[in-house]
């Protein structure tokens, strides 16, 4: 467990063999979640930021950016699309939340909420997962494709087992306890050409 305050993961090149594995796992199936992270890139092509794969679904939870101005949130292999204001060459802070009871998916960009969408009402997310930053898993723990790899910087990664709403506080460095994992005590492994650097 390491406190990564003022640190970033740098993904310097496109690859199918460089990524970050996040080690902690939920102890029971998830009925809801919130994921937050900060990214900085100039990629115009599709890329994956956060991939939570299970043996049932490679896209159990996936945060994917297919093109500038658009994000996709996958839950249980299905996705909804959120259109976002394009951020010109600056850090972008995004949070995604979902709850099984209503199927409502939430998305925030730089602390601002977007119109809510719905998917996978009543679904339960398996706790048996491989969690990866910077690649999309097309199989459990693998199946990476170079054209979907992330190039740039990622920081401030958090995941909770409930939906949060105070995103402006999180964006400006506040965080809430009882998370599954957080940037101030992250258990991770760097694979290939990914580097931990000062922000």
Tens digits of residue pLDDT in 39-86: 999 999 999 999 999 998 999 999 999 999 999 999 999 999 999 987
Q: Which residue has the tokens 């909804």?
A: 80
Query: What pLDDT sits at residue 108?
Result: 95
pLDDT tens profile 113-168: 999 999 999 999 999 899 999 999 999 988 999 999 999 999 999 999 999 877 76
Cα of 60 vs its chain's centroid, Å: 12
Domains of the chain in sequence order: 27-129+157-189 (2.60.120.200)
Residue 101 backbone zone (phi > 0: left; psi -120 to 50: alpha; other: beta): alpha
Residue 148's SS3 state is helix
d(CA 71, CA 83): 6
3-class DSSP state of 184: helix
CB 60 within 8 A of CB 54: yes
CA distances for 43 relative to 12, 83, 86, 164, angstroms: 12, 17, 12, 29
């Amino acid at each position: 467990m390491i406190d990564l305050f003022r640190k970033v993961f740098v993904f310097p090149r496109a690859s199918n063999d460089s990524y970050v594995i996040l080690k902690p796992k939920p102890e029971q199936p998830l009925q809801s979640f919130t994921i937050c992270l900060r990214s900085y890139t100039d990629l115009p092509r599709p890329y994956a930021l956060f991939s939570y794969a299970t043996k049932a679904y490679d896209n159990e939870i996936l945060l994917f950016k297919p093109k500038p101005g658009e994000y996709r949130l996958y839950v249980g292999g299905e996705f909804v699309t959120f259109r976002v204001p394009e951020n010109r060459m600056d850090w972008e802070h995004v949070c995604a939340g979902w709850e099984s009871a209503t199927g409502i998916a939430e998305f925030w960009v730089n602390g601002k909420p977007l119109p809510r969408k719905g998917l996978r009402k009543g679904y339960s997310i398996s706790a048996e997962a491989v969690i990866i930053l910077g690649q999309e898993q097309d199989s459990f723990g693998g199946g990476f494709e170079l054209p979907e790899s992330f190039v740039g910087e990622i920081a401030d990664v958090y995941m909770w087992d409930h939906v949060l709403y105070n995103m402006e506080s999180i964006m400006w460095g506040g965080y809430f306890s009882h998370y599954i994992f957080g940037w101030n005590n992250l258990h991770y492994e760097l694979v290939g050409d990914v580097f931990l650097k000062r922000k």
